[in-house]
Amino acid sequence: DGMVVRSRTKVRKNLIDVCPNLKVIVRGGVGLDTIDYEYAESKNIKVMNTPLASSASVAELAIGYMLMLARSLYKASASMKAETWDKKSFEGDEIGGKTLGLIGIGNIGKEVAKRAIGLGMNVIAYDPIVKTTDLKVKFVSMEEVLKQSDIITLHIPLDKKTGATITKKEFDQMKNGVILINCARGGVVDEKDLLEALKSGKVAGAGIDVFVNEPPTEEQRELLNHPNVSATPHIGASTNEAQDRVGEEIATKVVQALKK
The residues that are catalytic are: 185, 214, 234
d(CA 109, CA 156) in angstroms, rounded, equals: 9
Determine the Cα–Cα distance for residues 178 and 196; give it in Å rounded to an integer. Answer: 14
| Closest alpha carbon to 27 in 60, 53, 57 | 53
User: What is d(CA 16, CA 21) in angstroms, rounded to the nearest whole number?
Assistant: 10
- How far CA 6 is from CA of 64, 93, 121, 247, in Å, comes to 24, 38, 34, 11
Stated as kind and residue range, the H or E segment containing 55 is helix 55-71
* Count of CB atoms situated within 10 Å of the CB of 6: 12
How many Cα atoms occupy the beta-carbon half-sphere of 90 within 13 Å? 16
53: CB partners within 8 A, 6+ apart: 28, 237, 242, 245, 246, 248, 249
Furthest C-alpha separation in the chain: 65
